[in-house]
Structure 1
Amino acid sequence: MTITKEFFGKTLEGKNVDLFTLRNSNGMIAKISNFGGVVVSLIVPDKKRKFDDVVLGYDRLEGYLKKGPFFGAIIGRHANRIEKASFEINGIEYKVTKNEGENQLHGGLTGFDKVLWEAEIITQGEIECLQLSYLSKDGEEGYPGNLKVRVVYSLTEDNSLKIDYFAVSDKDTVVNLTNHSYFNLSGHAAGSILKHKVMINADKFTVSDRESLPTGEIKEVKGTPMDFTKLTTIEDGIHSEYDQIVFGHGYDHNWILNISEEKPEKAAEVFDPVSERIMEVYTNKPGVQFYTGNYVDEHEYCKNGVTYGKNSGLCLETQYFPNSLKHKHFPSPILKAGEKYNYTTIYKFL
């Protein structure tokens, strides 16, 4: 695998931003920016060796600088929602920034998707990898502790984009990192993903309220439109009057994965009947947020001059459960001082 670098633009503060291109010998290409750690482009073959870019995104850095739907970005410190933008650690209440009503979504007003990461090309084994590093200072967006974060992207010869996440803090804090790529396996400009088929390796999901906040209730997927235990066409359930679908205006929920969390295991699969591309998702995180782009409405800077509307892409965000700081029976995203946060997510294309 080889990595090249080019100029991508300047931040609002005038700092240079780069775009890194990762290539494997099969012709697969990943383009990643050190602004927000964004996966700008992911070019993969279909069954006829036709290559398409299968992630939504922008041609220019300006698209990523504005407030948007988090296309392709690293999300942190805490992916997803924190109710009332507050939590308690060691008897101390911390109030973090609100950016979705009274709640916090995806790390606050300036989450990890809106910061410039330090980039370095490193070698692991015989593979060149892109390493992005960031120091989130004590008090940033209201979070405690100086948190050192590293995210390593590698493109393997089996057509996998592997993302390794690492973090350590000098105080007890909260960490829940993910990637927010929107996938359309027919190609980023192909329109709706409702004909895609999805499998999620989960028998249960966390029930959400009208603000997409898990209530603490856990339900079985069986007998509901949330059942993706086998490949199921998205449009089969997305128009249901099931309360969870109505509340989320489609799918925007956390599934509890049937995995051990000891090593990356298969969490989900997506199949596009048009291109016959398959994407498999592997992780060692306990949950995955399946989101069907219910609020996407993007017209500026989109790649190739296209526009992206509702259901133009789908996300599979591996994570600790949303709102887990409010529910003690959920896996905890609290990282103790000096302990190492380390997990992996793999998006593999067949």
Structure 2
Amino acid sequence: MAVTEQAFGQINGHNITRYTLTNDKGFQVSCLDYGCIITEILAPDHAGKLENVVLGFDTLEEYGSNPHYFGAVVGRFAGRIQEGAFTIEGTDYQLAKNSDGQHLHGGPGGFHSAVWKANMIETESESIIEFTHFSPDGEEGFPGNLTMTVCYIVKNDDNQLAISYSAKSDKTTLLNVTNHSYFNLSGDFKRAIVDHQLTIPSSQYAELNEDMLPTGKLVPVEEDPLFDFRDGRTIREGKDSGHPQIKLVGGGYDHPFLLDKEAQPVIKLKDEGSGRSLQIETTEPAVVLYTANHIGGPYAFKGVTAQNQLGLCLETQSLPDSVNHPHFPTSILNAEKEFKSQTVYSFT
């Protein structure tokens, strides 16, 4: 097991460091203390060849403002909140409207743009980077002095990345965090992800309106087969369908799926060409599937031109805008109560 560090540039006068966790099999995860961004995951294909399976850049300058949140931890609230407004314990709060009149991913000064404190930990069986961040009362409009910890953990005997989250606030607040990595199992972005096979153990998805917000309706997937991933399907089947919900979000998926927790769900992603598979287990109640419908642009990932559907996100979290839908699982964190969450990514 090994943890290494190297300088990665400066932002707003802060020195940014890249940390790399490596196990004895060569499996490797690299991340930054800026936004807890995962820049690279090297995982083996069917022949044992190690290649990168997440979208990322080689320089800090390329991340820029990171409008697509590549690899970052997002919060305090992952997803959208209608008009950035909510009420907790009789008090009204107003957040930034940073996405077409709605609040998105914690606002412009959210966790993705923070410089986190990092602590490297090595044991015989694990390599760990522990990131901590203090978010003061009122930051981005959220109540409460919040202390947040995110740990990236690589085990020696498994090609596995575990992400654990913990937090505590001195006021009742909202908290809904996730990692926003874009996966592409073809290796070094050889192909788009439209033919990746995806399985999500979910019987219901959240219908969206034209503002990309949940309408409040949880649709049974058996009534809407293109959203039924329980037995696995490719992204292409939905992308090319012309389904109104898929057209609404730009010709792909950007939808929350409520996980069937009683089934001890495992989300599975597979690329037949490389033989790589990813299995995801989480304590979170939902996952947002985003098929990178809007990331095409005049830039490149390590020499590969950015294009829509070059990666996909599997954002384990609570449902977006949950504070305004009482029948959704809650994202309210009570004062002095500890928040804990874990998501484990296993590559085979």
TM-score higher than 0.5: yes
> 2:206, 2:242 → 1: CA distance?
18
The answer to whether the Cα contact below 8 Å between 2:56 and 2:302 also exists between their aligned partners in 1 is no
Give secondary structure in 1 for the equivalent of 2:203.
strand
Cα distance change on mapping 1:260 and 1:145 into 2, 3 Å: farther
Whichever residue aligns with residue 162 of structure 1, its letter is: A
For residue 58 of structure 2, what is the aligned residue in structure 1?
A: 59
Within 2, Cα distance between the matches of 1:304 and 1:101? 30
Q: Secondary structure at the match of 1:63?
A: helix
1:266-308 Cα offsets, whole Å, 9 max, x none, are 34100101101000011010000011000112433x4422221
Which residue identity does 1:134 align to in structure 2?
A: H
1:20 aligns with 2:25: no
Structure 1 residues without counterparts, runs of 5 or longer:
none
Residue 190 of structure 2 is aligned to residue 194 of structure 1: no
Q: Is the 8 A contact 1:266 1:280 kept in 2?
A: no
182-191 or 170-179, larger mean C-alpha shift: 182-191
5+ residue gaps, structure 2, are: none
Whether the aligned pair in 2 keeps the contact of 1:138 and 1:146 (CA below 8 Å) is yes
Contact 1:129/1:155 (8 A) holds in 2 = yes
Counterpart residue type for residue 103 of structure 2: Q
Deviations 1:38-66 (A, max 9, x none): 00000000110011100001110112232
**Other-structure match for 1:255:** 257
CA pair 188-315 structure 1, distance change in 2 beyond 3 A: farther
C-alpha separation in 1, matches of 2:281 and 2:148? 21
Cα distance change, pair 36–221 in 1 and its aligned pair in 2 (3 A): same
**What SS does the corresponding residue of 1:245 show, helix, strand or coil?**
helix
Match of 2:317 in 1: 319
- Do the aligned partners of 2:259 and 2:265 also contact (CA within 8 Å) in 1? no
Q: Distance in 2 between matches of 1:267 and 1:128?
A: 24
Partner of 1:191, secondary structure, is coil
Query: Structure 1 residues 260, 176: closer, same or farther in 2, change over 3 A?
Result: farther
Residue of structure 1 equivalent to 2:340: 342
Residue pairs, 1:135-284, within 5 angstroms: 135-156=134-155, 157-222=157-222, 223-249=224-250, 250-260=252-262, 265-284=264-283
Higher mean C-alpha displacement, 287-296 vs 122-131? 122-131
Question: What amino acid is aligned across from residue 310 of structure 1 in structure 2?
Answer: N
Partner of 1:90: 89
1:124: Cα distance to partner? 6.5
Distance across 2 between alignment mates of 1:239 and 1:166:
40
Structure 2 CA distance for aligned equivalents of residues 63 and 119 of structure 1: 22
2-side partners of 1:21 and 1:187: how far apart? 18
CA deviations over 1:8-30 (Å, ceiling 9, x no partner)? 1000x121000000001111010
CA distance in 1 between counterparts of 2:274 and 2:41 reads 15
Question: How far apart are residue 119 of structure 1 and its match?
Answer: 0.3
After superposition, what is the alpha-carbon deviation per residue over 1:237-292, rounded to whole angstroms, capped at 9, x for unaligned?
Answer: 2122222111112100000001159xxx4341001011010000110100000110
* In structure 1, C-alpha distance between the alignment counterparts of 2:123 and 2:164, rounded to whole Å: 12
Q: In percent, how many aligned pairs have the same letter?
A: 38
Q: CA RMSD in A?
A: 1.4
CA distance in 1, matches of 2:233, 2:24: 33
What's the TM-score once normalised by structure 1's chain length?
Answer: 0.96
**Partners of 1:142 and 1:162 in 2: CA distance:** 30
